[in-house]
A and B are shown apart, each in its own frame.
Chain A
């Protein structure tokens, strides 16, 4: 029977990530919970076995319930009834299956009813769900908002809300407003404390809220009257049982039809403060967004996988000129690049998630006891790596998902343009990935400091120290040359000492950094598991060479006098 986990052994490979031992040890606090919870692992192998079993159950549900429902979900979509959002009927079926399977609130500690999953395994779940139906992944993975509630909420709030999420209630993060999209500092939704009600009241409008009619909302609102920037914003928990928030409109979108995108009106909606006032945007939403970006990394990788599956399948069935089209170089060039981009997205995703896990676990332990000096240094190291990897992961994997969906349509030829085939849906669904949770352009902004301060370069140099399989050594040497070229390009841009030039050229440097890092990661993976990754490593290293050289030429031949030729409007 089809299974999205066992059919793609590349996923399980990352359960052997070198950091996995450390992550499990930290996450399971040396397996002390086994006495209290029969599902808790007794040792490392048992824990990995638990992860595999969980992914196997999810892979089965994804392949045999969610995927078969996905076309109907796309066609039906959610609708509005008396201020309430009603899911597509098959979305309800998907939610029920995952609730019955116990796959809700999975990253929460066991004492609240969760399964204590690390980010790396949660990301695998995201990938698997998204491969089956990208729009359903939006709804399912919003449960990770619970991580933010756990991190910043009080113990009382944790005890009241987390068990509900673990029992299957859904979540949303209400951030965007008509005039506050990428620029969240402009959020206007008003929060006023009511002495009479003994709670905060929310008033205003939110727009483009994914799963906006959820059970438990995290809401960004302006609590400090008279302020206009991010420091006047706080985060609130709104419980749907309280009432006061209605859905005014559900957007008609190009893709991810199953995911309801809502416009919400708040009329004296009772809410409670999460954490401290004024920290909403600068601390809590930043944490929320980083988790959400990892979620999009998982969604993008899952969709890339499905695009690869559909393209390979079609190419192996469709015959022209007396043979199946997979035999033609023009087609297998596309197929091999699709698979290479998929594997590149995936390795970056799971490395990023592993870095996030180490520092998040240590951060959590720091809530219980003081960390040792070594632990503090370890936390600092992995926080920096996670911060540097997250924008690379979100930006490149979402762009690759789009490219793979586009190529999947190309492989299908004329049939790809017909609505009966799945590839058109993949193309529509993927389009939003490089836009929401921070556009690719904003990922570049988030990454630029790691370009200029040498973080990426240092990561590359360290990775070059790792030995690779003898067969891959010539490729490693070619990638080493790319690292030098990247360094020269960064220096060339810095030499301008001009912010506009840096911002303008940053995308090229960002792409180069991402491609080189992923090429090195794939060479490492291919050394350990050549049967899974050697082909992609060979294809991808060449792709990286092709584009890094081109981008380097662009930068080396750039002239500051050229800028006016690009500007949409003249500088004032």
Chain B
């Protein structure tokens, strides 16, 4: 049995190593000051995909990512670890997407890729921390989903056995393919880059990433694997109205720095009145609803 596996991966600012100039005076993320990295949970997802590939010979792993041309680095990082291919969704029309527009774009691309058995992504990205994209992709494609996965144990007769983390422990579930899985950061860490693959793919680039005078231009003609696939909205037959800023109902009005202090804490009991009071308060503060 061979599987066609797609890993959803995102290039994110490294919010875990925040320096003094990580925020602009306006309170938005200063992306220039933070190195762009492979979203950590997505690396856990990639490891699960690579293990499946080893377990079921003939399987392929492809990296699907969306971002500016430099996000081609995410595909290279995947190739260095054993992925077979990748697709970069890059187009000005994709820019400014919230989770809804992102999952629309990814789902459209997955349809374009076709015959995908299993889509694996990290639980959430460290920039937005929503954990919404994976589930929304599943919903848009009408696929089953398993979230908070710790380990994809096996796939037999078209059914995946997956251990997922729940409050206070773990549970093992079964789900039929095709399937979307989101993986926890506590799952097995991703294997290191393989130096032989790094040497092979180090010049692999999307056409948009390449400088006009590329010293390695001759190689691209000889070695097709050095040209990564880049797709625009039109390439995936996407609806521009559902992509990017146009397709994103979420609008950021302001960003505030909030420092929680112990004196602001409140102790509530499990009594209905307390719970109701809390819900009302959260609604009033527009934190939920």
Q: A473 on the interface (CB 8 Å rule)?
A: no
Contact with A along B208-230 (1 / 0, CB 8 A): 00000000000100010100000
A202 CA to B192 CA in the complex, in Å?
40
A1 CA to B192 CA in the complex, in Å?
14
Q: B92 on the interface (CB 8 Å rule)?
A: no
Say yes or no: B198 contacts A57, CB within 8 Å.
Answer: yes
Known contacts A1-B17, A38-B223, A42-B219; A101/B192 CB under 8 A: yes
A49 neighbours in B (Cβ, 8 Å): 202
Say yes or no: B202 contacts A102, CB within 8 Å.
Answer: no
Known contacts A1-B17, A38-B223; A102/B195 CB under 8 A: yes
Say yes or no: A103 contacts B191, CB within 8 Å.
Answer: no
Q: B20 on the interface (CB 8 Å rule)?
A: no
Known contacts A60-B192, A97-B192, A100-B191; A53/B223 CB under 8 A: no
B225 neighbours in A (Cβ, 8 Å): 38
A49 CA to B195 CA in the complex, in Å?
12
Contact with B along A29-67 (1 / 0, CB 8 A): 000000000111110000001100110011011000100
Contact with A along B185-208 (1 / 0, CB 8 A): 000000111111111101000000
How distant is A49 from chain B, measured CB to nearest CB, in Å?
A: 7
Q: A115 on the interface (CB 8 Å rule)?
A: yes
A39 CA to B191 CA in the complex, in Å?
20
Say yes or no: B192 contacts A50, CB within 8 Å.
Answer: no
Q: How many A-B residue pairs have CB under 8 A?
A: 49
A1 CA to B40 CA in the complex, in Å?
13
B192 neighbours in A (Cβ, 8 Å): 57, 60-61, 65, 97, 100-101
Q: Select which of B17, B191, B199, B200 is within 8 A of A54 by beta carbon.
A: B199
Say yes or no: A101 contacts B202, CB within 8 Å.
Answer: no
Q: Select which of A53, A58, A65, A115 is within 8 A of B202 by beta carbon.
A: A53
A101 CA to B223 CA in the complex, in Å?
23
How distant is B18 from chain A, measured CB to nearest CB, in Å?
A: 13
Known contacts A1-B17, A38-B223, A42-B219; A54/B198 CB under 8 A: yes
Q: Select which of B17, B193, B199 is within 8 A of A39 by beta carbon.
A: B199
B199 neighbours in A (Cβ, 8 Å): 38-41, 50, 53-54, 115
A60 neighbours in B (Cβ, 8 Å): 192-193
A61 CA to B196 CA in the complex, in Å?
15
How distant is A37 from chain B, measured CB to nearest CB, in Å?
A: 9
Q: Select which of A38, A97, A103 is within 8 A of B195 by beta carbon.
A: A103
How distant is B250 from chain A, measured CB to nearest CB, in Å?
A: 31
Known contacts A1-B17, A39-B200, A49-B202; A101/B219 CB under 8 A: no
Say yes or no: B195 contacts A115, CB within 8 Å.
Answer: yes
Q: Which chain B residues in 25-46 approach chain A with CB under 8 Å? A: none
Q: Which residue of B lies closest to A49 (CB)?
A: B202
A102 neighbours in B (Cβ, 8 Å): 194-197
How distant is A87 from chain B, measured CB to nearest CB, in Å?
A: 19
How distant is A10 from chain B, measured CB to nearest CB, in Å?
A: 22
A115 CA to B219 CA in the complex, in Å?
21
Q: Which residue of B lies closest to A114 (CB)?
A: B196
Say yes or no: A115 contacts B196, CB within 8 Å.
Answer: yes
Q: Which residue of A lies closest to B37 (CB)?
A: A1
Contact with B along A174-213 (1 / 0, CB 8 A): 0000000000000000000000000000000000000000
Known contacts A38-B200, A53-B202; A101/B194 CB under 8 A: yes
Q: Which chain B residues in 219-250 approach chain A with CB under 8 Å? A: 219, 223, 225
A103 CA to B191 CA in the complex, in Å?
13
B17 neighbours in A (Cβ, 8 Å): 1
How distant is A409 from chain B, measured CB to nearest CB, in Å?
A: 31
How distant is A89 from chain B, measured CB to nearest CB, in Å?
A: 16
A57 CA to B196 CA in the complex, in Å?
11
Say yes or no: B219 contacts A100, CB within 8 Å.
Answer: no
A187 CA to B200 CA in the complex, in Å?
46
How distant is B188 from chain A, measured CB to nearest CB, in Å?
A: 12
A41 CA to B198 CA in the complex, in Å?
12
Q: Which residue of B lies closest to A40 (CB)?
A: B199
How distant is B90 from chain A, measured CB to nearest CB, in Å?
A: 25
A42 neighbours in B (Cβ, 8 Å): 219
A115 neighbours in B (Cβ, 8 Å): 195-196, 199
Q: Which chain A residues in 470-486 approach chain B with CB under 8 Å? A: none
A60 CA to B193 CA in the complex, in Å?
10
Q: Select which of A1, A53, A61, A97 is within 8 A of B198 by beta carbon.
A: A53
How distant is B231 from chain A, measured CB to nearest CB, in Å?
A: 25
How distant is B189 from chain A, measured CB to nearest CB, in Å?
A: 9
How distant is A20 from chain B, measured CB to nearest CB, in Å?
A: 18
B194 neighbours in A (Cβ, 8 Å): 100-102
Say yes or no: A39 contacts B196, CB within 8 Å.
Answer: yes
How distant is A431 from chain B, measured CB to nearest CB, in Å?
A: 31
Q: Which residue of B lies closest to A1 (CB)?
A: B17
A101 neighbours in B (Cβ, 8 Å): 191-195
Say yes or no: B195 contacts A54, CB within 8 Å.
Answer: yes
Q: Which residue of A lies closest to B82 (CB)?
A: A100
Residue of B192, B198, B219 with most chain A CB atoms under a 10 A cut-off: B192
Say yes or no: B195 contacts A57, CB within 8 Å.
Answer: yes
How distant is A90 from chain B, measured CB to nearest CB, in Å?
A: 14
Contact with B along A60-82 (1 / 0, CB 8 A): 11000100000000000000000
A1 neighbours in B (Cβ, 8 Å): 17
Contact with A along B158-199 (1 / 0, CB 8 A): 000000000000000000000000000000000111111111
A53 CA to B80 CA in the complex, in Å?
11
A53 neighbours in B (Cβ, 8 Å): 195, 198-199, 202
How distant is A3 from chain B, measured CB to nearest CB, in Å?
A: 12
B196 neighbours in A (Cβ, 8 Å): 39, 102, 115
A257 CA to B194 CA in the complex, in Å?
28
A54 neighbours in B (Cβ, 8 Å): 195, 198-199
How distant is B47 from chain A, measured CB to nearest CB, in Å?
A: 11
How distant is B55 from chain A, measured CB to nearest CB, in Å?
A: 16
How distant is A229 from chain B, measured CB to nearest CB, in Å?
A: 44
Q: Which residue of A lies closest to B219 (CB)?
A: A42
A429 CA to B219 CA in the complex, in Å?
47
Q: Which chain A residues in 80-123 approach chain B with CB under 8 Å? A: 97, 100-103, 115
A50 CA to B197 CA in the complex, in Å?
11
A39 neighbours in B (Cβ, 8 Å): 196-197, 199-200
B219 neighbours in A (Cβ, 8 Å): 42
Q: Which residue of B lies closest to A42 (CB)?
A: B219
A318 CA to B156 CA in the complex, in Å?
59
A42 CA to B193 CA in the complex, in Å?
21
How distant is B187 from chain A, measured CB to nearest CB, in Å?
A: 16
Q: Select which of A50, A57, A65 is within 8 A of B193 by beta carbon.
A: A57
In the assembled complex, 10 residue pairs joining A and B whose CB atoms fall closer than 8 Å, in A order, are A1-B17, A39-B196, A39-B199, A42-B219, A50-B199, A57-B192, A60-B192, A65-B192, A100-B192, A101-B193
Chain A contact residues, CB within 8 Å of chain B: 1, 38-42, 49-50, 53-54, 57-58, 60-61, 65, 97, 100-103, 115
| Given A1-B17, A40-B199, 7 further pairs, Cβ under 8 A | A38-B223, A41-B199, A57-B193, A57-B198, A61-B192, A102-B196, A103-B195
Q: Which 5 A-B pairs have the closest CB atoms?
A: A39-B199, A38-B200, A101-B192, A102-B194, A100-B191
